[in-house]
Amino acid sequence: MGQVIKIYMGLFFLLLEALTGMGVVSAGVQTAAARDYHSDIMEEIACSNFNAGVMEACIEQAEEEGYQVEIEPVIYDEAANIQLASVTLHYEYAIPILNLFSRHEIRGMAG
């Protein structure tokens, strides 16, 4: 009878470990997707030559995808020869099995 309890306890902990591992992998996939999306936004802004309409479209599209994006254009000289844009993307990081929910951000400069 003692062996049956040990086997069921082993299976329970194995299942718990598998679910935790799946949650961690899922959170990693969410983070990778957010990083890719952030990279795409920065590339699109740089390729559009910092067009204000493109920046607004990126913000709207990000909201549809479930992200929050902040874009701040930066001009470093009076002749506007050097332009950059600070791009901040906020996303949800979640591992539900551990009841871990937090908001992360990715920052970068498009230029």
In a structure prediction context, what are the per-residue pLDDT tens digits for the chain, which is 111 residues long? 778 899 999 999 999 999 999 999 999 999 999 999 999 999 999 898 888 899 999 999 999 999 999 999 887 777 766 788 899 999 999 998 889 999 999 999 987
Asked if 54 and 44 touch (Cβ cutoff 8 Å), the reply is yes
- Separation CA 69–CA 104 (nearest Å): 12
Using DSSP's 3-state secondary structure scheme, residue 95 falls into strand
Mention every residue, 6+ apart, whose C-beta is less than 8 A from residue 46: 85, 110, 111
Tell me the sheet residues that pair with 89. Answer: 69, 106
Asked if 67 and 89 touch (Cβ cutoff 8 Å), the reply is yes
Supply the pLDDT for residue 80.
Answer: 65
Supply the pLDDT for residue 111.
Answer: 78
Q: Which residue range is the domain that position 65 belongs to?
A: 2-110
Number of domains in the chain: 1
- Separation CA 90–CA 88 (nearest Å): 7
